[in-house]
Amino acid sequence: MGTKILVIDDEPDIEPLLLQRFWLTIREGIYQFKFARGGYEAISLIKAEPDYDVLLVDINMRDMDGLTLLSYLPDLLPNGRAVMVSAYGDMDNIRTAMNRGAFDFVCKPINFKDLELTVEKTARHVHQLRESARTKLAADLKTHFFDNITHEFRTPLTLILAPVERLLRQWSEHQGTQRDLIAIDRNARQLLRLINQLLDLAKLEVGHLQVNPQPGYLSEFIDQLVQAFVPIAEQRGITLNYQTDVSGMWLFDAEKVGQIGYNLLANAIKFTTGPATQKAGSTHVTVRLENGSPIRLSVSDTGIGIPTANLPHIFDRFYQVNSLVRPLEPGTGIGLSMVKELTELMGGTVSVSSSTGTPTTPSGSTFVVDLPICPLSTEEGVVDDSFSIRDWFPLRATEPDTEWGSITPPEDAPLVVVVEDNDELRTFLAEELTNHYRVLTAASGERGWTMIQTELPDVVISDVMMPGMDGYALTQLIKTTPATDHIAVILLTAKAASDSRLAGLQQGADDYLTKPFVIEELVLRLRNLLARQQRLRTLYQQQLARPELPQPIETVQDGWLRTLFTVLDEHLDDSSFTVERLAECMALSSKTLLRKVQSLTQLSTNDLIRRYRLRKAVDLLRAGHGVSETAYMVGFDTPSYFGQCFKEIYQVTPKDFAISTKA
């Protein structure tokens, strides 16, 4: 396609000059020229045809000068570039133009050879720019598509894995059923692992896979991975052992290191059962994790080995050694390419040595992965448990859970609102959670938001991807609305990517769970959040009830409570300042105010006002004010009622308190 050039100049001679000069390239369709006599005309031409590649702009024009026009271009024509035309010596204007984003400039009188080269260079730049914008758009679309597909796969998988997990508990006595359920669980996880791998592969292709290092115990992590293979190794008569001298916390991307280890171990076991290695006891798989810089993970086996001729190709995508000795094991040929690409993404290297054996030397393969990951001191981070190794491996079927049962929640059990558009998942969550909590459900973000405002629950569990108002938008509403900003939010997402996790946390979500999740994990996180809320309530109460602590307004973490205390301060001596007026000041109804105060402090609004006033009285008495004076200063109508309330909270009369502080 040719290059479209718009020439903006108020000198009429420029048009025939350029048409003459460029006639050959115009005839061949390489360049196409349009002319405008000033900035305004240029703007309307660009608006009509917003696909100009190069703009040739005279700086000095009468109606709108070139510099002003330039400032409109980023919005009007983001992918076009301007070449400025100005008189020799007009360096100031030229410099300004370049600073405002002009691509290049030519001087008048125009040297046409120079102009041709400049136009050509600018056109080349614009075409490259367009090409990379197109590639980026395609890559973004692809990633978006993958995210959606992941969602489509993970939601049904959650609905397989979660009920299986419940059934496993219910049928723990019944061996036959257990066996079947374990098979379902294992296969669903296998499916999940494959899907994740395929999606990672696709993301690697468009360069969208990112490394997301988190603090964690590396050697324990690898140990868990190895342990997950013990049953299958035993079944095949393979001795599996793990050696390491690594300890403590490390900063690593567990998901990627896990995939690397998983693929190497799965291969080692898969290819250690060939006809040549049938003798039990003669087959070993050893995993070694060695300290050093970089950290070295090696997986060696005494299996069939890889013929030398095939070795250079085994890290290629979809490559499988096509040999008669290849065991009848299905495979996709992507495992090792993933190992290599993930390792390299993390800045590491992978190598292999292998032999198919001779009459005197045994066969076997060793894969070595070197990863430049850093140790951490224990204090530096909290282990992120959001990545669960159980995403990949079967649950241990017989794990007992004594706290689990069918209990009807008490009336004062915490209230949870579940917002999820998938009917099945919503019903499932509600059924599971009613064992512990009072649960309300909503099928859309909008319905959820209405429910949250009227019910003021303790926690909201919301899906991220929903048509209409999504989980992020809902979280943002909850966290920016004063009446609801104390409510904890757990987001459920199909996106395993760390950027979506971040997006959720940025909106103020308190926790985040990636599908498929096990219900116990959700309950555990709910329990943690509720316990944190309870600790805060106790803290706020103590701040009011303990005179030795500083004034609550100085220490309270909750911004809304701080505002409320400020309002109370402003009306401290006003005994007619009622709950209704406080609600008005806080822009809430009295009912909502009560529920918000209750959920933050477990006190009624009246109680909170009284306790706040009494806490203020403590300081006034300490400062030497008399009891009656203090009573009026903190808004009590009569000193006797003040005395009575004071004693109730502080177990001492105001008079005695004043005496004790003087002593």
Query: Residue numbers of the site for ligand ADP (CB under 6 A)?
Result: 263, 267-268, 271, 301, 303-306, 314, 319-321, 326, 331-337, 365
Least distance in angstroms from the C-beta of 222 to ligand ADP: 17
Least distance in angstroms from the C-beta of 98 to ligand ADP: 52
Q: Which residue number, 356 or 484, has a Cβ lying nearer to ligand ADP?
A: 356
**Closest C-alpha to 363, from 281, 274, 296:** 274
Q: Which residue number, 365 or 630, has a Cβ lying nearer to ligand ADP?
A: 365
Q: Which residue number, 321 or 373, has a Cβ lying nearer to ligand ADP?
A: 321
Least distance in angstroms from the C-beta of 339 to ligand ADP: 7
Dist. CA 13–CA 115, nearest whole Å: 16
Least distance in angstroms from the C-beta of 279 to ligand ADP: 17
- Angle 378-380-384 from CA coordinates, rounded to 5°: 85
Least distance in angstroms from the C-beta of 334 to ligand ADP: 6
Q: Which residue number, 304 or 609, has a Cβ lying nearer to ligand ADP?
A: 304
Residue 207, Ramachandran bin (φ over 0: left; ψ between -120 and 50: alpha; else beta) = left
Three-state DSSP string of 223-247:
HHHHHHHHHHHHHCCCEEEEEECCC
Residue keyed to tokens 């909008």? 446
| 3-class secondary-structure state, position 518 | coil
Least distance in angstroms from the C-beta of 298 to ligand ADP: 12
Least distance in angstroms from the C-beta of 330 to ligand ADP: 8
Q: Which residue number, 334 or 621, has a Cβ lying nearer to ligand ADP?
A: 334
Burial classification of residue 380, based on how many CB atoms lie within 10 Å of its CB (0-12 exposed, 13-18 middle, 19 or more buried): exposed
Q: Which residue number, 205 or 245, has a Cβ lying nearer to ligand ADP?
A: 205
Least distance in angstroms from the C-beta of 52 to ligand ADP: 50
Question: Both tokens of residue 141?
Answer: 């679309």
Least distance in angstroms from the C-beta of 347 to ligand ADP: 21
Cα 111 from chain centre: 55
Residue keyed to tokens 């919301």? 462
Contacts 24+ apart (CB under 8 A), 340-344: 340/315, 341/201, 341/204, 342/200, 342/204, 342/256, 342/259, 342/260, 343/260, 343/369, 343/371
Q: Which residue number, 57 or 222, has a Cβ lying nearer to ligand ADP?
A: 222
Residue 410, Ramachandran bin (φ over 0: left; ψ between -120 and 50: alpha; else beta) = beta
Q: Which residue number, 87 or 194, has a Cβ lying nearer to ligand ADP?
A: 194
Q: Which residue number, 238 or 582, has a Cβ lying nearer to ligand ADP?
A: 238
Q: Angle 175-205/335-345 helices, nearest 10 degrees?
A: 60
Residue 212 CB contacts under 8 Å (≥ 6 apart), including other chains:
253, 255, 498
Q: Sheet containing 349-355: which strands, arranged edge to edge? A: 239-244, 284-290, 295-301, 364-371, 349-355
